[in-house]
Amino acid sequence: MQSFLASIVSVAFHGAAFGMILYVISVGLSITMGLMGFANLAHGVFAMAGGYVLTTAISRFGVPFPLALVCAFAAVALGSVVLERLLYSRLYTAGDLEQVLFTIGLIFIAVAVARFVYGTLQKPVMLPPYLKGQFALLGRDFPAYRVFIIAFSAVMIVALWFGIERTRWGAMVRAAVDNRAMAQSVGIDTRRLFTLTFALGSGLAGLGGALGADIIAIQPTYPFENLVYFLIVVAVGGLGSLRGPFAAALLIGVADTACKYWLPQFGAFFIYLATIGILLWRPAGLFGRRS
């Protein structure tokens, strides 16, 4: 009984860390999909890029870990602005199929570049000493890095929610998600808003990829292998919402960890089944408004 309780706590803890990472990566996808209606399958590319920026900054240039996280966010956000202005913006009015194909093309390119530059092996993360080891809480030991992930993501999420719900910029984003034409006609520069939001979302994905490099291995096939998870979070949570994907990410993080812990012979089977079930029950996602 004691050991069962311990394993429940452990699964909940690791699941929460995984869920937090999933949320930080996917929330940008939810906003940009809700805002621009763009089916961006290449979102995982930004997360992978963040992971590579982090490992390169630390191992090649000896950048301290916190600064490397900032680098990952900034570099990916900047890179995404270039991509958005050059390529994505041309396809806002195109059909779903074109957007899907274009972003699959981006995935292929990113996979090839990553393989060419970094090789096929996964990149280990050099954690600073203060994030290694265990962290004692309520008489139990938890890996310090996971505790850091949960705490750091929680702070990020609160900041993001504050930004969207309480600031002028956030109000403009919400207005544009609800009704783009109306937002435009009251004088909001939606083009600039899109670019900024896209950069923020991609930067967050980069940050999430960097932060979670220890949980979701950074390797060239990253965007292919994890795409399903990111899309599940967004689809189950509901497009354009902040809270929906959060609930979905935690749900999937914990459920996936639990399945892999107790029923490893089924792999991710139940996650996919649950996704199908939820989407059939509520096609717009758990918290989606459109149905």
Question: Which residues make up the interface to another protein (CB under 8 A)?
Answer: 33, 39, 87, 90-91, 94, 96-98, 100-102, 104-113, 115-116, 224, 227-228, 231-232, 234-235, 239, 265-269, 272-273, 275-276, 279-280, 283-284
Angle between helix 43-61 and helix 190-211 axes, rounded to 10 deg? 50
Least distance from C-beta 160 to another protein, angstroms? 22
Nearer to another protein, 6 or 94 (CB): 94
Question: Tokens at residue 182, please?
Answer: 């109306």
Nearer to another protein, 20 or 107 (CB): 107
Nearer to another protein, 18 or 145 (CB): 18
Are 270 and 263 in contact by the 8 Å Cβ rule? The answer is yes
What number of other Cβ atoms are within 10 A of residue 220's Cβ? 22
What number of other Cβ atoms are within 10 A of residue 76's Cβ? 30
Least distance from C-beta 252 to another protein, angstroms? 12
Least distance from C-beta 95 to another protein, angstroms? 9
Least distance from C-beta 274 to another protein, angstroms? 9
Pick from 40, 76, 39, 85: nearest CA to 57: 76
Which residues, including other chains, have CB under 8 Å from residue 37's CB and lie 6 or more apart?
92
Nearer to another protein, 100 or 151 (CB): 100
